[in-house]
Chains A and B, each alone.
Chain A
Amino acid sequence: MDHFLHLLSSGLARGAVFAVFALALVLIWRAARIVNFAQGAMAAATTYVAFAVTAATGNYWLGLAAAVLAGALLGLVVERGVMRHVARQSPLNSVIVALGVVMVLQAVLGIAFGNDYTPMRVPFSMEPLWVGGVPLLSPYDLYVIGAVAMLLLALGLLFTRTAVGLRMRAAAFAPETSRLLGVPVSRMLTLGWTLSAAVGAFAAVLVIPTELGLNPHATDTLFVYAFTVAIVGGLDSPVGAAVGGLVVGVLLSLVTGYLGSTLAPIAVLVLLVVVLLVRPAGIFSARQVRQA
């Protein structure tokens, strides 16, 4: 039982980060109807910014803020500089260009900072709090979960309560109609990229310190899991990303703990098959989405 509780809590902590990263994918899907394969590499790049700023100032929070800003900027640059020029007739073309962006970013990071892993500092202890003799969440885990919850809340408010959020949704779901109604669709698209990249940057800063450290490829696995999470939850659903993240995080932890690490990817595959057989567009898919 102790073992189970520990696996559960560490799975939840990791799942929370998957959730944020998946959320970034959901944001861009809602804004531009593409899966941003460059999300991982972009987040790795911005984490280098966080590292540099923290190293220079000695302040974790400045580094985090810098990464989020850099993420927004990178999202803007990638959308305006590259994605905007990709032909619209095939969503696949954007995927290919995104893969090109991945290669460029990872190569530039490798050239600039080398291929080795760099450890990152965190503001809270990673030693778990003991509850009844069981090591549960660490202060850092609690910070991550809290940050994720607040972010979800903020984004939820943005999309449901603010004019700009509503416009973004309108521009994504019905670009032609929105344009006629005076919504600056193109600007909304850019905003979607900016927002998504900033969220991705935030997630990477949270997760990289808990893994091997900073490296041009540090977010490769994160991206793969986040993509799975977004599919499980439903690409259109921020809530789906949150729930999917926790589900996948806990599943990975339990399977690794009880059946062995080797089986973890197979378990994720099985989860995906089961979910998609029951809900072909993810757990939290809206009915009308399937006709979109």
Chain B
Amino acid sequence: MTRPRIVRAVAAAGVAALLVPLLASCSADSTDDASGAAGDAEPAPGVTDTEIVVGTHHPLSGPAAAGYASISAATTAYFAYLNDNGGVNGRTIEYIVKDDGYNPATTQSVVRELVLEDRVFALLNGLGTAPHSAVLDFLDENEVPDLFVASGSPVFNQPDEHPWTFGFNADYTAEAKALATYAQEHFPGKTTCLLAQDDDLGEDFAAGLVTVLGEDGLASEQVYTTSNPDVSAQVAAMKQAGCEVNFLAAINAFSALAVGTAAKLGYQPQWLSSSVGGDYGTVSQYLGENAALLEGFVSANYLPSHFSETDEWTTLFRQINEDYNEGAPFDGNTVYGMSVGYLFAEALAKAGETPTRQGIVDAVTSGDLRGNGVVPLALSATNNGAYQGVQVTVVAGGVQEYVGTPYTAEPGAGEVTPYTGGPVALEDDGIPSS
């Protein structure tokens, strides 16, 4: 009797836990090396003579998959095009996309899997402020290049705090400053208001607006939460406050909801939207038959316009989309995803024949990268954000086109200045070489 009882009690506390390693090792790959505790194996993980492995986390399932799932597919298509044309320095790029459902807990798990199990060379374009914030410290500690995060939060542009992390999207604050400047020039003397998501997008955007419009520049500041798809109360309040020019710091779905709800109230203010929720293709899809409400809708962008028939980048990307992405709908996300892929390839080409993790970070901070935007890349030794400026777009006749000159903006409360250097030209069919 004693023995079974001992066995039971041990198991009650310990053996259950012991099973963890057992079961885990069962499911582990056959290529396990026993020396798990040792940290450093090779100088550049994920790099062989013929291949470079990079990974990312994107929402491919769940509510957030709407509007985002097509980005990683576009990046993958660009890499397929690049690989068919010899890759970079003779290496092809393998892009591992993990689904995190926009859930930070899942992000933590899949990113550790990418770094520790799949041994990726770098993380590329991890999507979302909340999910990606959850892995910042981990990536820092493991010194994994965390390139071109899909967020405009200033959190991902802190060279001192997070030297391995680099943001891609136009800084929310910079964007807000540019749009506010545009509003002052084109709609002077009007009552300005804001509808914002109740997270860092809304806060950072509001902070940018205030630096240009002044502390009391916003007559009404309304917030919404993504969990409540009804903004009639907020829009009614804006109408009540006599708002004529409304800024939107919202995702595409809620930009559409705001515009649609306002129209139902017989309220048609001028809308100026952050690039996050200002893609005409996506917003008009939500509005369906009411897409005409978007006539005159002002937003901002920093990448080639997917509407353009003449832009060389757009033409190339459209072709790649046909050849390598089964002709999926060509929209802002497609251009975005391919632009991310191009910028990574450019950085990789500059990182030398045998890229190391430090090497690619050096290439990114060298100030030599050009990207493919309408504003110059801001990446430098002291700036970890790719795009620090935008150009305003206006919807006219169902087409969203760039107007005026681009603005660049210093981070934080810095100045907004027009940029006249023109967009980056396409070279070598979008295949970077060192």
Flag if A10 contacts B288 (CB, 8 Å). Answer: no
Flag if B198 contacts A261 (CB, 8 Å). Answer: yes
- Contacts A135-B265, A217-B62, A261-B198 aside, 9 further interface pairs with beta carbons under 8 A come to A14-B230, A115-B65, A215-B63, A217-B66, A221-B227, A221-B228, A256-B230, A262-B223, A264-B228
Q: Mark B216-233, 1 if CB is under 8 A from A, else 0.
A: 000000111101111111
Question: Total A-B pairs in contact (CB under 8 Å)?
Answer: 99
Please judge, given known A-B contacts A116-B66, A128-B265, whether A212 and B257 are in contact too, CB under 8 Å.
yes
CB of B5 within 8 Å of the partner chain: no
Flag if A116 contacts B228 (CB, 8 Å). Answer: no
Flag if A121 contacts B63 (CB, 8 Å). Answer: no
Q: Mark A3-29, 1 if CB is under 8 A from B, else 0.
A: 100110010001000000000000000
Query: Chain B residue with minimal CB distance to A3?
Result: B240
Residues on A with C-beta less than 8 A from B62 are 217
State A213–B286 Cα separation when bound (angstroms).
Answer: 7
State A79–B263 Cα separation when bound (angstroms).
Answer: 43
25 A–B pairs (Cβ distance < 8 Å), ordered by A: A3-B236, A3-B237, A110-B61, A115-B65, A116-B67, A117-B286, A119-B287, A126-B264, A127-B263, A127-B266, A212-B253, A215-B63, A215-B66, A217-B63, A220-B63, A221-B227, A256-B233, A256-B234, A257-B234, A260-B198, A260-B223, A261-B198, A261-B223, A261-B231, A261-B233
Please give me the 7 A-B residue pairs with the lowest Cβ-Cβ distance, nearest first: A119-B288, A257-B233, A115-B65, A256-B233, A211-B229, A217-B63, A261-B224
Q: Mark A190-224, 1 if CB is under 8 A from B, else 0.
A: 00000000000000000000111101010011000
Residues on A with C-beta less than 8 A from B237 are 3, 257
Residues on B with C-beta less than 8 A from A66 are none
CB of B96 within 8 Å of the partner chain: no
Flag if A115 contacts B228 (CB, 8 Å). Answer: no
CB of A107 within 8 Å of the partner chain: yes
A86-143, CB < 8 A from B: 107, 110, 115-121, 126-128, 130, 135, 138
Q: Mark B362-396, 1 if CB is under 8 A from A, else 0.
A: 00000000000000000000000000000000000
Quick one: which of A118, A126, A256 contacts B228, CB cutoff 8 A? A256
Residues on B with C-beta less than 8 A from A252 are 228, 230
CB of A58 within 8 Å of the partner chain: no
State A182–B256 Cα separation when bound (angstroms).
Answer: 56
CB of B185 within 8 Å of the partner chain: no
